[in-house]
Amino acid sequence: MSTTRLPRLDAITGAPLIGTWASSLLYMAELRQAMYYFHTFKKDNWKLKSYVALAFAIDTISAVADYAFVYLYTITHAGDLVYQTKQNWAVPLYVISTTCVAFLVQSFLAFLYWRFTKNTIFICFLSVLILGALGGGFSAGLTVTLFPAYKDRNKTRICAAVMIVTQVSADLIIAGALFLELMKAKSLFKGERPVNNMLNRLVLHTIQTGTATAVIAVLALIIYLIDDETNIPVAIMYTSGRVYVLSMLVNLNTRDSSGRPQNWTTSSGQRGTVRVAHGTTYIFSTLQFSLTEPHSSNSESIRSSAWLPTLQPPASISEIRPPEIEMVPTDTKPVPEI
């Protein structure tokens, strides 16, 4: 059979094939992080574990759709000129599943930020962006289902642009908001090397979480707007779902098995409190870093948190300590995680 009439296979099947290679590497890292989480943090609340399992399961479906897309083009329907001019069922499945993964991870981070700041107005604005990305993704998937031909791909321009722009905006805003809060917390611990080391690591995770997915989405959007008949943007976005779930798992796994941030230990091996001269108590517990001023009212309390499914009230201060840092075990019980 003559292949002169075949479409550009490098762009249609070659780019997605390379994308599945990159996706496979990231999925192995994701699987390793998921196994570590479920093996190490067995005491985490079942709701949190179910949420993580759901995100991982949907991302697995997305990865399977990636492989199905390439296999159907290169093996099952190799040389089929009619089939090569259409997008198969794996494309809308991949788009919708990846959109759901992004929605779950962004909602997770937004909820944690709200539990920390109680800034309802900001979270409402963020929710609009997250829901906009979800709606854009479902619209793009439905459009591809109704109009699978590559010549009709321009019909998805608007919904695809809405999905990517709102998704990128949400990623960057969440990362920026968490970054600012962590920097505020860091300014309160000048000279406290162990705490600053922990906060530096959390700041790095925050930057990586927002910028990685944003760069992937923006690059895919630019290439798509230049040439909407190539599958290079699809190949680039193959890694998006893996990066989202990895960012959530890495944040959750940045603890030791007792739930404390890694590299933060006490001599007794228990949950630790740092108590300083002016009577401020800093509590480090399950995914939680919080501080309150004992002489402030509830409305004036200062809190800083890092990847925190729960908020834990600080231990009471009964006396003013000398100007030194002392590690003491807390006697408070953590609020059940959600």
Q: Rounded to whole angstroms, how far apart are CA atoms 173 and 193?
A: 28
The torsion angles phi and psi of 93, rounded to 5 degrees, stand at -65, -45
Q: Which fold, 9-253?
A: Rhopdopsin 7-helix transmembrane proteins (1.20.1070)
Would you give the DSSP letter of residue 86? B
Would you give the DSSP letter of residue 261? B
CA distances, 185 to each of 109, 171, 177, 265, 322 (Å): 18, 21, 13, 19, 22
In the numeric block, the tokens 């791909």 are attached to 153
Per-residue pLDDT of the chain (338 residues; tens, 9 = 90+): 444 455 567 777 888 899 999 999 999 999 999 999 999 999 999 999 999 999 999 999 999 999 999 999 889 988 788 888 888 899 999 999 999 999 999 999 888 888 878 889 999 999 999 999 999 999 999 999 999 998 888 898 899 889 989 998 998 888 888 788 777 777 777 767 776 777 677 667 767 766 788 888 888 888 888 877 778 888 888 999 999 999 889 888 877 555 555 544 333 333 333 333 333 333 333 334 333 333 444 433 333 333 343 333 333 333 334 444 444 444 445 545 54
**End-to-end CA, the chain:** 60
Query: Taking the C-alpha atoms of 98, 103, 109 and 113 in order, what is their torsion angle to the nearest 10 degrees?
Result: 160
Q: Rounded to whole angstroms, how far apart are CA atoms 230 and 251?
A: 35
Q: Please say whether the beta carbons of 182 and 315 come within 8 A.
A: no
> What H or E segment, with its residue span, contains residue 273?
strand 272-275
3-state DSSP call for residue 290? strand
Q: Rounded to whole angstroms, how far apart are CA atoms 326 and 313?
A: 19
Nearest to 60 by CA among 101, 104, 103, 14: 101
Structure token digits, residue 43: 């005491």
Extents of the domains making up the chain: 9-253, 272-329
Q: Rounded to whole angstroms, how far apart are CA atoms 298 and 204?
A: 31
Tell me the whole-structure pTM to 2 decimals.
0.73
Mutual orientation of helices 240-253 and 193-226 as an angle, nearest 10°?
170
pLDDT number for residue 295: 40
Q: Rounded to whole angstroms, how far apart are CA atoms 280 and 274?
A: 8
Q: Rounded to whole angstroms, how far apart are CA atoms 52 and 128?
A: 23
CA distances, 231 to each of 52, 127, 179, 256 (Å): 30, 30, 34, 42
User: DSSP string covering 93-130, please?
Assistant: HHHHHHHHHHHHHHHHHHHHHHHHH--HHHHHHHHHHH
Q: Rounded to whole angstroms, how far apart are CA atoms 284 and 273?
A: 6
3-state DSSP call for residue 324? coil
Residue 309, CA atoms < 13 Å, CB-side half-sphere: 22
pLDDT number for residue 106: 92
> What H or E segment, with its residue span, contains residue 214?
helix 193-226
Q: Rounded to whole angstroms, how far apart are CA atoms 314 and 289?
A: 10
Q: Please say whether the beta carbons of 143 and 167 come within 8 A.
A: no
